[in-house]
Structure 1
Amino acid sequence: MSPATAAPVVTTTNPITSSFADSFADPSIIQGRDGYWYAYATSDPLVANGPFGLMHMARTKDFSSWEYLGTVFNDQTKPSWAAPGSFFWAPDIRYFGGRYVMYFTVTDTLANPGGDPAIGVATAPTPAGPWTAGDGPVVAPRPDGSGGYLGTIDPAMLTAADGKRYLYYGGFYGGIAMTELSADGLHAVGTPTQVTIGDRYEGSYVVYRDGWYYFMGSSMNCCAGPTTGYSVFAGRSRSPRGPFVDADGAKLTDSRVGGTTVITQNGNKWIGPGHHAFITDAAGQDHIVYHAIDRGTPWLTDPFGINRRPMLIDNIDWINGWPRTRAGLGPSEGPVPAPTTGSSLGIDSANPAAGLVGATANPGDSVGGPTASIQGAAQTRASAPGGSLRVEADVKLGSSFTTVLGNQVVATVANNRLTLAAGRRTTSVNLPADFDRTQWNKLSVQVSGSGVTARLNDAGLGDVYAEARLPGLTLRPAPVRWLGTAEVDNLTVRPVAKPVTKLASVPRTGKLLAGDDFNGALGADWSWVRQDDKATVADGNLSWPLENADMVGSGNNAGLLLHATPAGKSWIAETKLHLDTGIDDVRNYQQAGMIVYLNDDDFARLGDVAIWKTRQTEYGRELVARPSDGATSYGAAAIGRTAPTMWMRIAYHENPAGEHVYQAATSVDGKNWTWGASWVLPAAARVGLYAHGEFTGANPPPTATFDYLKFYESK
């Protein structure tokens, strides 16, 4: 197709559910056999003052226009073992064994009415239902040993390369565990494995890529209105059971908990991006589907009521082996290219035989519509362009089936193996012993300069039965050919999306503008709010025993040591902090760090903080959320990991709207920085230090030692 006749680029703008819903939280998504993409959401009302649903369904063909399909359950079809008034949260959609399978949270069961969450399951012949709920939990409520129940919430299923199905579930209270499932996916079997420490992650999702299992989970508070700092972090492992380790080598089970940033807020209108799912489009581009909050309209109901959490979508770029949303830029606010759907080469993915030579058209079934039957040999009517190519289809396989690209790459499924040949190289991997070739599965073959990959899986949601990989090459123009026996549906042939391989730029320090090395008495640029006489300056340090005090809510009794900020549009403030809060014990909420301060009810606070048995870096925000009575809201984002000695930065700039944006970063060596969330304040603020906690544990309290506070030009 010449540039003059090229199809227009389809764009989408967040939130993508705005045409039918103000809120579509905890989304999951799958491509149905009919070619539509189906999205599912938790049971919050769709619109202000609307009714709670029993989980919601919608679908799209191009991610530009959506159709609302109603609720998953009604009062007659919802699980019979759920207590009256129970909510249904966080649907996780899958397809295997010839049916659609949905896992979800039941917040209260009849076994112990009052709050004993469990994981339920439902099945359906089509992605729109009708859904039949299981007769009991997949994962039953888990007693905590003290009369309550652990957070058995937020399920996510994975089919792994060993052919087994695993379910990840859990949240802040008790951490996230995973259990093996029965072959039909309806029952937990075996002994669960803990994969994250408590008090850090919920909303899990696991994908397989290039030999690694990537666990991703959401952290901090999903629903704090205008102070929501929810974000997604990742760790990876060679095993679906973990241990999952981040890019810096920290485990997700450590007290100083690890996690590499997948998405966090960037200072535009979107805050609290999280509880996500993954999809891969027809061009091989991965996307993250998630909810977030518009900080200008955070509430679906009155302040401190239901949060407005619409569904958003953005690209995932794999950089140095890690998933990053828009190369680290975070949520998009304006129009961006939509996921690539459908096929090139004149192929109608919903009626694939029409675009092939040698294939026979089948009527298919009521779920997927017409299919193509290949018995012997078939090929595309048109020649595929040279360079890169991705060929993907739902397939029911015969005894042997081969895909040929450019007459250079050959991927064959035969003798319970997936074999890939590219040029002179060949590799082969086993399929699980019980792999069922007679059911619909998804087969993809992708060729680009960065690699050649053949993959066979359930539904293209990061699951895997087998993946074969070889070094990349450049294809020659040629028709795509198939040899052997298979029934084919949802066939797409597309050039591979150009990968982004470099992280977006982050703030960098320039010349020193101001600061203090604490080599003498505090100068005129310093000022106290509630001076703490126990803080002393000596020997090049500010030493400050943690106050049993706080800044959150009405507890505005903590001391703050503030410094004047440089004149100008942008700068970076930096400090070095020593604070030993131990590990593995409860030290709530000992903390110290930096603060951006307008007043006691309007600030952002970056601290090394003990949260139950974890040690986390928290970038919190407080503001007045209900002006009628001055009620404040507090929430936070997590950034990087902590250490007894760590470095902190806050970068300031004024955005085009004249708002004051403060982005935080942390480091455990003073050289390699993890940049994280941004908070927006209504006016330029003072920046300083704090050391407090409203804490338990450690008597006498530990001492926070600051080596300096410096301000640099931001480049």
Structure 2
Amino acid sequence: MPSRLLTTVVAAALAITPLTAAAAPHPPASVSTQNPISSPFSDTFADPAVIQGRDGYWYAYATSDPLVEGGPFGLMHMARTKDFSSWDYLGTVFDDSTKPAWAAPGSFFWAPDIRYFGGRYVMYFTVTDTAANPGGDPAIGVATAPTPAGPWTATDGPVVTPKPDGNGGYFGTIDPALLTAADGKRYLYYGGYYGGISVTEVSADGLRAVGTPTQVTIGDRYEGAYVVRRDGWYYLMGSSMNCCAGPTTGYSVFAGRSKSPRGPFVDADGASLLESRVGGTTVITQNGNRWIGPGHHAFLTDATGQDHIVYHAIDRSKPWLNEPFGINRRPMLIDRIDWIDGWPRTRAGAGPSDTPQPAPVTGSSLGITSTDPAGGLYGAERSPGDPLGGPTALVDGMAVTRKVAPGGSLRFDADVRLTGKALTVRLGQVGVTLRDESLTISAGRRLTKVAMPAGFTAPEWNRLTVQVAEGRATVRVSDAGLGDGYAETSVAIPDRLKPGRVSLAGTAEVDNLTIRPAAVPVRKAVAVPRTGKLLAGDEFGNGFGPGWSWVRPDARATVANGKLSWPLQNTDLVGSGNNAGLLFHQTPATNRWIAETKLHLDLGEGDIRNYQQAGMIAYRNDDDFARLGDVAIWRTRQTEFGRELVARPDGATSYGGAAIGRPAPTMWMRLAYHLNEAGEHVYRAGTSIDGVNWTWGAAWVLPAGATPQLGLYAHGDQTGSNPPPVATFEYLRFYAAK
């Protein structure tokens, strides 16, 4: 359309409906989800990755477990949805004829990570065994496809090769995740408990590792990396502890942040993810409902700007596939992410949901069909687009929304490909201009401009996001809106947005256009347990007070000078040994209380002391307990809330644990107890390194019936010291819970 005629059409449209007169459009019917969201098509959908395709669907990918009970192992799975409520299963990423030729015949394919750049979809994944060294030399593979559903073509070799450990084996080169950083470079994170998580730069096409890798986490704590950029920080998130211990799985996700994609990453308390006394701020952990072991996640942002975490978890009442038995049943879940004091928290710290929740908002308001946006814009021409994206809107001059956007807050999101020099998007007083070399945002007389990094190509498809909310306008350009980006800048706005049309001016092709009111952020964390009045306890003032009892007494445990001193026993409760001493105190006769102790235990730093530990325990019997301890696990020092129970048909026990907070030679511990509606006994763990500021973590549920005993322990399977370290407890107190 000639520009002069286009201007006339737009002016006429604006005259028909005054910018300040129209009411906000009627919102669409709400959509809810209920975990697990993968249940319509699968029993298990582990290690999920997600992306919005150019066709408007959201695609999800999973590791190569059997999809359903009794099913065969797949070669990674694919599914898609429009609303996160109904799903279509699309089959496997590979088959035997298309899987990487360099993989060993019996190799598994794990933990896909999906991205879009350079006009194609790029998938990274773990190959557990290569043909070069059959027997277990994991590597990172990569494949590309023209559409998010494939067909996928694997490269001729790994993007990250196996890394020998110097002892005849290989480090854990697993769990890839890509980041496009503000310097325009692409970085691939990978690794796990054996060797730690590392990051390497990859080539512009994403297919080759280049340069020297940098290790960003200690080798014994994290796997399943995922990185997002927010407010100038790079947030590295990783999963910790055992992913797959059936009903005792305590997998959880923790975060650290850095100004550089190479770290160092530190948590909210300033503790590094590389320290022996390892840091990590909780993103998600189990809360005592049906879901345990939430982890190995991805992020997505919906059409309102609300972030969500997609992850797998285990139903504690149905933890395994029965056929083949022993495979953990890990379906896909989704929940809201809230940014509390600069840190990502699942449902403001409430953890996994087991009730209906608002689904991620998809599609546009203002009468715009996001996958065919020309119909909702005056002045835009409809293009047939391409087989991947479908119809698009061509802007050559100016286009405006046919309907008026509401005032207050607004979010504009679109896939954009410049066909000329620039595209300007205007939301009320906020203007954003994208050029090949720069990104500019203005509001009144306020203006900021940032240069686009080397490697950015505006004539290719990129995601342009503009959000105006809470007195600030922010713009970001990214590959596909997965939390990373080439450039981001913002400006303060003097006034709230007034109702008005959104306009686009310049020469560009637009797809997946959504315009919606921005989500209202949650800024306050949910309440955590707090202590009330003192109910009972012992200060160890003069021998053992009343209320104490032993299982397998240890004569070396002595009380003197207001302390219980207990040399660590070379014993353990886990498994079949069951020869460790336990010291119990009578619990309050109420259904809600908090137990607290102060522990001093010097476990050193950096050396291997498997598994020296001491702390508190909730105990039914030797094969059914939950224990909170300061523990040495290989070279790390961690606070672990572990669980053992008889879980298998053959009577064998299962043990797993959740990590909580940061350890220190002197630390405080709490177990918050309550009886749930089913009569089960729920214990939630909290730790502190100063006795004032508490980190609350995972919860374990013990069966209904008699209340478990609560007490102290000090032992370790292989203490490795002579004399053994001494655990010193200053008190055990029971408080009313607020």
TM-score range, shorter chain: over 0.9
TM alignment of 1:475-494, pairs within 5 A: 475-494=497-516
Q: Is the 8 A contact 2:107 2:128 kept in 1?
A: yes
Q: Is the 8 A contact 2:185 2:455 kept in 1?
A: no
Cross-structure match for 2:306: 285
Cross-structure match for 1:468: 489
Cross-structure match for 1:711: 734
Aligned AA (2:486): Y
Q: Equivalents in 1 of 2:128, 2:436: separation in Å?
A: 45
Aligned AA (1:255): S
Secondary structure, aligned partner of 1:306: strand
Q: Is the 8 A contact 1:303 1:625 kept in 2?
A: no
Q: Equivalents in 1 of 2:136, 2:492: separation in Å?
A: 52
Q: Is the 8 A contact 1:197 1:252 kept in 2?
A: yes
Q: CA deviation at 1:604?
A: 0.2
Q: CA deviation at 1:698?
A: 3.0
Residues 1:435 and 2:456 aligned together:
yes
Residues 1:235 and 2:256 aligned together:
yes
Cross-structure match for 1:137: 158
Match of 2:427 among 405, 419, 431: 405
Q: CA deviation at 1:471?
A: 3.2
Residues 1:446 and 2:467 aligned together:
yes
TM alignment of 1:25-174, pairs within 5 A: 25-174=46-195
Q: Equivalents in 1 of 2:73, 2:427: separation in Å?
A: 49
Q: CA deviation at 1:434?
A: 2.2
Structure-2 change in CA distance of 1:303 and 1:681 (3 Å): farther
CA deviation vs aligned residue, 1:637-684 (integer Å, no higher than 9, x gap): 000010010000000011122221100000010010000000000142
Q: Equivalents in 1 of 2:224, 2:534: separation in Å?
A: 42
CA deviation vs aligned residue, 1:338-392 (integer Å, no higher than 9, x gap): 0000000000001100000111110000000000011111110111000000000
Q: Equivalents in 2 of 1:312, 1:130: separation in Å?
A: 26
Cross-structure match for 2:39: 18
Q: Equivalents in 2 of 1:490, 1:38: separation in Å?
A: 14
Q: Equivalents in 2 of 1:478, 1:581: separation in Å?
A: 63
Cross-structure match for 1:538: 560
Q: CA deviation at 1:218?
A: 0.2
Cross-structure match for 2:608: 586
Using structure 2 for the length normalisation, give the TM-score: 0.95
Q: Equivalents in 2 of 1:192, 1:448: separation in Å?
A: 39
Structure 2: give runs of 5+ residues left out of the alignment: 1-21
Q: CA deviation at 1:474?
A: 1.8
Q: More displaced, 630-639 or 681-690?
A: 681-690
Q: More displaced, 301-310 or 578-587?
A: 301-310
CA deviation vs aligned residue, 1:459-517 (integer Å, no higher than 9, x gap): 00111100002236521111011111110000000101110000000110000000010
Q: Equivalents in 2 of 1:355, 1:296: separation in Å?
A: 49
Match of 1:498 among 515, 520, 543: 520
The percentage of counterpart residues that share the same residue type is: 75
Q: Equivalents in 1 of 2:585, 2:702: separation in Å?
A: 17
Aligned AA (1:710): R
TM alignment of 1:529-678, pairs within 5 A: 529-626=551-648, 628-678=649-699
Q: Equivalents in 1 of 2:27, 2:100: separation in Å?
A: 49
Q: Is the 8 A contact 2:595 2:735 kept in 1?
A: yes
Secondary structure, aligned partner of 1:300: strand
TM alignment of 1:187-336, pairs within 5 A: 187-301=208-322, 305-336=326-357
Q: Equivalents in 1 of 2:323, 2:549: separation in Å?
A: 38
Q: CA deviation at 1:7?
A: 2.5
Cross-structure match for 1:390: 411
Using structure 1 for the length normalisation, give the TM-score: 0.98
Q: CA deviation at 1:630?
A: 2.0
Cross-structure match for 1:695: 718
Q: Is the 8 A contact 1:225 1:304 kept in 2?
A: no
Q: Equivalents in 2 of 1:698, 1:548: separation in Å?
A: 9
Q: More displaced, 426-435 or 220-229?
A: 426-435
Q: CA deviation at 1:164?
A: 0.3
Q: CA deviation at 1:699?
A: 2.1
Structure-2 change in CA distance of 1:308 and 1:600 (3 Å): same
Secondary structure, aligned partner of 2:327: coil
Q: Is the 8 A contact 2:48 2:60 kept in 1?
A: yes
CA deviation vs aligned residue, 1:608-634 (integer Å, no higher than 9, x gap): 0001110000000000102x4321000
Aligned AA (1:373): L
Secondary structure, aligned partner of 1:271: strand
Q: Is the 8 A contact 2:24 2:406 kept in 1?
A: no
CA deviation vs aligned residue, 1:49-96 (integer Å, no higher than 9, x gap): 110000000000011100000000000000000000100000000000
Q: Is the 8 A contact 1:586 1:696 kept in 2?
A: no
Q: Equivalents in 2 of 1:634, 1:290: separation in Å?
A: 22
CA deviation vs aligned residue, 1:9-45 (integer Å, no higher than 9, x gap): 1001000010110000000000000000000000000
Q: Is the 8 A contact 1:291 1:312 kept in 2?
A: yes
Secondary structure, aligned partner of 1:642: coil
Aligned AA (1:238): K
Secondary structure, aligned partner of 2:198: strand
Q: Equivalents in 2 of 1:265, 1:538: separation in Å?
A: 38
CA deviation vs aligned residue, 1:415-468 (integer Å, no higher than 9, x gap): 611111123322111111221111100000001015321000000011110000
Cross-structure match for 1:370: 391
Q: Equivalents in 2 of 1:483, 1:555: separation in Å?
A: 74
Q: CA deviation at 1:413?
A: 1.3
Q: Equivalents in 2 of 1:578, 1:60: separation in Å?
A: 52
Structure-2 change in CA distance of 1:295 and 1:377 (3 Å): same
Q: CA deviation at 1:303?
A: 9.2
Structure 1: give runs of 5+ residues left out of the alignment: none
Q: More displaced, 176-185 or 296-305?
A: 296-305
Match of 1:458 among 458, 469, 479: 479
Q: Equivalents in 2 of 1:568, 1:441: separation in Å?
A: 58
Q: CA deviation at 1:524?
A: 2.8
Q: Is the 8 A contact 2:410 2:516 kept in 1?
A: yes
Q: Is the 8 A contact 2:243 2:249 kept in 1?
A: yes
Q: Is the 8 A contact 1:273 1:293 kept in 2?
A: yes
Q: Equivalents in 1 of 2:413, 2:239: separation in Å?
A: 30
Q: Equivalents in 2 of 1:62, 1:491: separation in Å?
A: 16
Q: CA deviation at 1:5?
A: 5.8
Q: More displaced, 311-320 or 432-441?
A: 432-441
Secondary structure, aligned partner of 2:247: helix
Q: CA deviation at 1:228?
A: 0.3
Q: Is the 8 A contact 1:667 1:673 kept in 2?
A: yes
Residues 1:680 and 2:698 aligned together:
no
Secondary structure, aligned partner of 2:733: strand
Q: More displaced, 510-519 or 411-420?
A: 411-420
